Amino acid sequence: MYALIALGYTLVYGVLQLINFAHSEVFMSGAFGSYLVVNGIIGNRHLTGVAVPLTLIAGALSGALTGAAIAWLLEKVAYKTLRQRGAPKLAFLISAIGASFFLSNLAGKLFNRLPNNSFPGTTGGETTYFNLSRNVIDTTYFKLNVIEIVIIATTVVMMVFLDRLVNKTKLGRSIRGVAEDAPTAALMGIDIDKTISRTFIIGGALAGVAGFLFATAFGASYTMGFTPGVKAFAAAVLGGIGNIRGAMIGGILLGEVEVLVSNLSFIGAQWVDVISFVVLVLVLIVRPTGILGERLGRAA
């Protein structure tokens, strides 16, 4: 989950060299977009057989579309005008924080009074239409639920897809060109504005899918974006800001540290957040550019 969200941070930072602090609310928006679609499909029915994976696919796609749309609007409304006017970095930061608060409060007004903001099949929800919380692998050392397998499989597929997209396609070359040297990329015929918009759309789609998966496992809330968003940003820094593969590794590593720490009896789960950021600080002391190093050029 952290890796998927961190990819959006690192993509935008690589191109614009700014932290999109509203990205956590893009993640939250994807959860609610898929929430409406999934609950509209299911209603009061109990899903079985092929209907379960089809509904999951519909939820993931709707989350991706919602996240991509919100990220695209953010770029057009909160960042594009500032970028065209050569505004200082502080203006981008203030705009991002303002957009984050707006989206969070808007979702609170729209969804906070719904009777149940939990996805069907969540481990803590009242309904179990998906039956995703039952254990499918149960050994002496670990248990795996269906939803956990879905999250892992989806994340791996999307990370591999993004890696191939950035490294093997024309769009990916444009993104890497703008991230390396935007003025020179423009001279080579790359449309800077379109490339930046598409970068936001890709990052938003990944965050939207992550929002759907998170909400399926834990339920949806208009405050759900803050903690995963901060952790994902930490993961991006840990792996090397601007480095896509670094964001993947940083997200997975941070998640593994949290899981291991929460199962140590002499530490306890209440110290998970503290230990996670201590690990981040220690890694950056040893290697300030992150595990795989930064990849920064001239900002667009």
In a domain, 30, yes or no: yes
- List Cβ<8 Å contacts ≥24 apart for 153-157: 154/60, 154/209, 154/213, 155/1, 155/3, 155/4, 155/210, 155/213
In a domain, 274, yes or no: no
Count of structural domains within the chain: 1
Q: Phi/psi at 142 (nearest 5 deg)?
A: -160, 165
Q: What pLDDT, on a 0 to 100 scale, did the predictor assign at position 121?
A: 45
Q: Give the integer Cα–Cα distance in Å for 110 and 27.
A: 16
Q: Give the integer Cα–Cα distance in Å for 75 and 80.
A: 6
If you average pLDDT over each of 40-44, 105-109, 125-129, which comes out highest? 105-109
In a domain, 117, yes or no: yes
Whether residue 39 has pLDDT greater than 70 = yes
Q: Which residue has the higher pLDDT, 280 or 115?
A: 280
In a domain, 151, yes or no: yes
In a domain, 261, yes or no: no
Q: pLDDT confidence of 50, banded at 50, 70, 90?
A: confident
Amino acid code (one letter) for 59: G
In a domain, 269, yes or no: no
Mean pLDDT of 188-217: 90
Query: For residues 100-112, b (16+ Cβ closer than 10 Å) or e, as one string?
Result: beebbeebeeebe
Q: pLDDT confidence of 294, banded at 50, 70, 90?
A: low
**pLDDT tens digits, one per residue of 231-250:** 888 888 888 887 888 888 88
Compute CA distances 25 → 14, 76, 172, 205, 222, whole Å: 20, 16, 25, 12, 8
The whole domain housing 161 covers 2-223
**pLDDT tens digits, one per residue of 144-180:** 777 788 888 888 898 889 989 988 899 989 988 888 8
Q: What pLDDT, on a 0 to 100 scale, did the predictor assign at position 64?
A: 94
Match 């009242």 to its residue by tokens.
126
* Burial classification of residue 265, based on how many CB atoms lie within 10 Å of its CB (0-12 exposed, 13-18 middle, 19 or more buried): exposed
Average model confidence (pLDDT) across the chain: 81
Q: What pLDDT, on a 0 to 100 scale, did the predictor assign at position 135?
A: 58
For residues 228 and 27, the answer to whether their CB atoms sit within 8 Å is yes
Q: What pLDDT, on a 0 to 100 scale, did the predictor assign at position 83?
A: 83
In a domain, 136, yes or no: yes
The per-type count for the chain, helices as H runs and strands as E runs, is 12, 2
* Burial classification of residue 256, based on how many CB atoms lie within 10 Å of its CB (0-12 exposed, 13-18 middle, 19 or more buried): exposed
In a domain, 228, yes or no: no
